[in-house]
Amino acid sequence: MEKDNNRGQWGSNFGFLMAAVGSAVGLGNLWGFPYKMGVGGGFAFLLLYLILVVFVGYIMLNTELALGRKTGTGVVGAYRAISTKYTAIGWMGAIAPFLILGFYSMLGGYCMKYAVSNLGDLFNASWGVNSADGGEFFGTFISNQAESSIYTVVFIALTILIVLRGVSKGIEKFTKVAMPALFVMLVIVIIRSVTLPGAIEGLEFMFKPDFSVFQGTGWITVLASAGGQMFFTLSLAMGIMVAYGSYLPKTQDINKNAMIIPIADTVIAIMAGLAIMPAVASAGMEFGAGPGLLFVTLQTVFNGLGIAGPIFGFIFYALVFIAAITSAISLLEGIVSIPVDKKLKETGINQRTKYTWILGILVMIEGVLVSLDGLGTYFPPLFGKFIWLDGFDLVSEGILMPLGAFLTAIVFGWIRKDVLVDEISLSSEFKSKKFYLFCLKYLAPVMMLLVLVGQINSFFGLGWF
């Protein structure tokens, strides 16, 4: 148990930014964005996405960071501090990351397995991919329940070890090195990818403007897809930006940070597309999203690159691993901060170590259950979903996140308007104050409702539009 009763604070604004961008940049950028952009109208999707980022993402980021710094506590305590009536919104932001962590960790474990296997190929080791067909390699791995569970556990253990060390000595120290490394690795993969023969088709798939997808009710589908992506990728409505904001000194400019984070996140999402899509096109493979893209298609691409394949394979999966673990760290910190801050207030003692272990082990159990399910091979359906990962995703990303964000916008856009504006103005001129309040009041709630309806529609295949 830690003796000091200091909650912890970011050592520098750069450190905070690396942690926050690390949270934002994750699997969502690498496997969601490029494909969604491609099928959602290319440049047309990008435009819509950018509009959403400016009118909703930037607004909600400001709100959550300010709520955290104002109340100086994790998400449940933060909403409770505003009024006990709002505690339930805080709980939504606590349950969602817990659910996401289960499958996120499993996927993080998969990245480790793939990085290790590509490394093995470099030495012709028996534990390498050994040119096995991408699909077969993946199938064999996920049906090996013991192996995939072990990777999940190792991934969570690493996450725990970083969160245990605290805000500046753990999270900040790690992300300050990891995020620039991720950036460099991404540039290396992009250079290889766009210089492959036939790369241009990948670029066309992703960027070619196609406004026809907006026709009829198509725009609702695209809007919901872009909206869902926007706030998953910005780690919103997860209590995370509230917790990260609570470690931000009063002298730092919240408003400026709320602009930089989405810009960095979007740049990396586009870069991820530049790294992935041209390579997929060059190998003559189908574009796709999700685990299939990352673990089947791309491994097949690396297999086809000859001697350089394992090198790029290793660099690529290592960078996806970094993206995943910096997000997992934030998810765990988001939930650990809740009991830590509660106890700190009651007893004056910081019990980070104890709660990181307790919650970390609960997440391990959850992660192992999801891994045993092996993408739907073994267990009966959960929340109506055959694949447990999808069930967890439905409840968290599909329902809790848009609903939580909607309620947050209502509370701070209509009922308690001044609280956060004052907090943001402390360290910033906040010239966009009017714009902020306008968006928070009208645009954000409407958008969140649309996303909610759109997610439910697509998750259940209801075919409403």
Binding site for ligand PHE (CB under 6 A): 23-24, 26-29, 97, 100, 232-233, 235, 238, 240, 327, 330-331
> Which CB atom, from 196 or from 264, has the smaller least distance to ligand PHE?
264
* Cβ at position 454, least distance to ligand PHE in Å: 18
* Cβ at position 168, least distance to ligand PHE in Å: 20
What is the number of other CB atoms lying within 10 angstroms of the CB of residue 161? 14
* Cβ at position 152, least distance to ligand PHE in Å: 17
> Which CB atom, from 322 or from 420, has the smaller least distance to ligand PHE?
322
Under 8 Å CB-to-CB from 445, ≥6 apart: which residues?
406, 409, 410, 413
Helix (H, G, I), strand (E, B) or coil at 253: coil
> Which CB atom, from 121 or from 333, has the smaller least distance to ligand PHE?
333
> Which CB atom, from 19 or from 279, has the smaller least distance to ligand PHE?
19
> Which CB atom, from 93 or from 128, has the smaller least distance to ligand PHE?
93
Comparing C-alpha atoms, which of 388, 92, 397, 363 is closest to residue 234? 397
> Which CB atom, from 46 or from 283, has the smaller least distance to ligand PHE?
46
* Cβ at position 24, least distance to ligand PHE in Å: 5
> Which CB atom, from 29 or from 282, has the smaller least distance to ligand PHE?
29
Give me the sign of the Cα torsion angle 160, 171, 32, 96. Answer: positive
* Cβ at position 371, least distance to ligand PHE in Å: 18
CB 258 within 8 A of CB 53: no
> Which CB atom, from 240 or from 322, has the smaller least distance to ligand PHE?
240
Q: Both ends of the chain: CA-CA distance in Å? A: 54
* Cβ at position 465, least distance to ligand PHE in Å: 26
* Cβ at position 29, least distance to ligand PHE in Å: 5
* Cβ at position 444, least distance to ligand PHE in Å: 17
CB 99 within 8 A of CB 382: no
* Cβ at position 262, least distance to ligand PHE in Å: 11
> Which CB atom, from 271 or from 421, has the smaller least distance to ligand PHE?
271
CB 214 within 8 A of CB 434: no
CB 142 within 8 A of CB 283: no
Structure tokens at 409: 């916008």
Residue 25 DSSP symbol: S
Q: Specify the amino acid at residue 21.
A: V
- In three state form, how does the secondary structure of 403-425 look? HHHHHHHHHHHHHCHHHHHHHHH
Per-residue CA distances from 222 to 36, 38, 262, 456 (Å): 9, 11, 20, 14
Structure tokens at 419: 């609280």
> Which CB atom, from 199 or from 234, has the smaller least distance to ligand PHE?
234
> Which CB atom, from 280 or from 400, has the smaller least distance to ligand PHE?
400
Structure tokens at 273: 């597309």
* Cβ at position 390, least distance to ligand PHE in Å: 16
Question: DSSP letters along 176-227, please?
Answer: HHHHHHHHHHHHHHHHHHHTSTTHHHHHHHHH---GGGGTTTHHHHHHHHHH
* Cβ at position 396, least distance to ligand PHE in Å: 8
CB 229 within 8 A of CB 37: no
CB 76 within 8 A of CB 345: no
Residues pairing with 385 in the sheet: 382
